[in-house]
Every structure is written in C-alpha cells, then in structure tokens.
C-alpha cells in the first residue's frame, strides 16, 4: 500500500454554514466533502488537522480546523465571519493542510468600546477560544457573551503570525478598543487621572506646609529658650 503525498490542497466553492443548514457562529471549524476525508486518510498528515483557507482571487488567507466531512462535493462550508475575513461569498477558496506551531503570545483589539463592559474579559476569552483551533494575524474573530457578540481583531500572534491554540497556554494582551479615545470611557479615565493628579499635588502642598510649620515652630522654640547676655553683670573696678 503506497501512501499519497503529504500535502492536501483542493479548491472549493464556499458557502456559509448557516446557508447549508449547519449554522455555527462559534469557533473556526469548517465542513469539507467526504472525498477530502478519503484523500487525507491515504496520506501521512499531522493531527489534529489544521488548514490554510485562501481566497483564490485576492490571496487573503486564514487558518482553521475541520468539524465534519459532510459538505456537498465541490463545496466548503464555513462560519460567515470567516467568509468576511477572506472576502469571499460564493467564490472559490483553496484549502490546504498545514502544520502550525503552538501559540505563545496573542494580542487582540476589540472592535467596540462596549467590550470594556465585560467584567472579566480574560476569562471570557479563555472560554470562547476553546471553540477555536488557531489564530491568524489580521483576522477578526467573533465571540458570544450575554446574548450579544463581540468582534476582536487579532493584532499579534507569536510565533509566525499564525499559530495553533489547541491545548496550549499562551500569554494574552489587549490593545485599546477601536474608538476608545473618543469614547466616554476615555473621558472618564482622563477625569480620573486629573483628579488623582490634583490629589497628589494637594498632598504635596500639605506636606510642604506641614514641614514649614514644624520648621517655624522649632525656630520659635529655639528663639524663646535663648536670651543674649543673660546673667548678672559685674563692674571691672569691683564697685
């Protein structure tokens, strides 16, 4: 039995999972046809399976996992937000299996200042990313929370700008949300900083005033205890 080449690459028409009756808003997994599974089964490939999905026309690409091999032949189904990232709708995409290193660092930027209302964004992200297999710089991922969705742009990924997040513990950082500088949150932060600076300045003035008062009181006490030419006077002629 001779195994096939280690690289799987095919072009597919793309539809959203919702259009195909498999609405899946969370995560980054796609549906491929049964023939893809048959070919991959004859190859020496790494597991879990990770893929590069590329817009054939523009070259824009992202990375993803696979959920099922049950799509119509010639078609790939993916979450609509992934289609938006690739800029495809009904167009051809190229799907190729890839090997990605594990992520060590990720930086994200929320696309709305409303994300600041989330009580514990790191905990939310930790839970939401369990539905994802990998992250790619430039993508905007969508995560659900309390009946609404938040879009987060992937600003940095180490190593290599694209990495696997399966069973990995990586450091996460957040940039200021889009539109933050013009938001009420920035105004509140500015006022809080101004109030804090005013308090520090007032405390410094009080410290200086207290030091001066103590110095003045000390000088006054020393002046009161010292009397020049005190004591009994005597004539030098003895009279």
pLDDT digits (tens, 9 = 90+) for 143-153: 888 888 899 99
Measured CA to CA, the distance from residue 133 to residue 179 in angstroms comes to 29
Q: Would you place residue 4 in the very low, low, confident or very high pLDDT band (cuts 50, 70, 90)?
A: very low
Measured in degrees and rounded to the nearest 5, phi and psi for residue 117 equal -80, -10
pLDDT at 2: 46
User: Is the pLDDT assigned to residue 109 strictly greater than 90?
Assistant: yes
Measured CA to CA, the distance from residue 60 to residue 39 in angstroms comes to 25
Measured CA to CA, the distance from residue 13 to residue 113 in angstroms comes to 36
3-state helix, strand, coil in the chain (%, to 5): 30, 30, 40
User: Is the pLDDT assigned to residue 191 strictly greater than 90?
Assistant: no
pLDDT at 228: 55
If you ran DSSP here, which 8-state letter would residue 112 be given? Answer: S
pLDDT at 3: 52
pTM value?
Answer: 0.72
pLDDT at 211: 75
User: Is the pLDDT assigned to residue 62 strictly greater than 90?
Assistant: yes
User: Is the pLDDT assigned to residue 154 strictly greater than 90?
Assistant: yes
Q: Would you place residue 110 in the very low, low, confident or very high pLDDT band (cuts 50, 70, 90)?
A: very high
Measured CA to CA, the distance from residue 233 to residue 133 in angstroms comes to 102
User: Is the pLDDT assigned to residue 236 strictly greater than 70?
Assistant: no
Q: Quick one: tokens of 71?
A: 């799509």
């Amino acid at each position: 039995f001779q195994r096939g080449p280690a690289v799987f690459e095919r072009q597919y028409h793309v539809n959203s999972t919702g259009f195909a009756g498999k609405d899946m808003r969370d995560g980054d997994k796609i549906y491929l046809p049964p023939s893809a599974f048959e070919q991959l089964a004859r190859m020496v490939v790494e597991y879990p399976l990770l893929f590069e999905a590329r817009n054939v026309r523009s070259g824009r690409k992202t990375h993803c996992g696979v959920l099922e091999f049950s799509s119509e032949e010639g078609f790939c189904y993916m979450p609509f937000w992934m289609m938006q990232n690739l800029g495809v709708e009904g167009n051809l995409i190229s799907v190729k299996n890839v090997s990605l290193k594990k992520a060590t660092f990720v930086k994200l930027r929320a696309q709305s200042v409303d994300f600041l209302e989330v009580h514990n964004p790191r905990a939310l992200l930790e839970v939401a990313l369990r539905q994802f297999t990998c992250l790619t710089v430039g993508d905007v991922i969508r995560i659900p929370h309390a009946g609404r969705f938040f879009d987060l742009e992937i600003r940095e990924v180490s190593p290599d700008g694209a990495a696997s997040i399966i069973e990995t513990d990586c450091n996460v950082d957040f940039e200021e949300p889009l539109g933050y500088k013009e938001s009420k949150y920035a105004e509140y932060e500015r006022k809080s900083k101004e109030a804090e600076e005013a308090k520090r300045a007032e405390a410094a003035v009080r410290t200086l005033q207290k030091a001066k008062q103590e110095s003045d009181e000390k000088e006054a006490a020393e002046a009161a205890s010292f009397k020049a030419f005190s004591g009994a006077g005597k004539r030098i002629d003895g009279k």
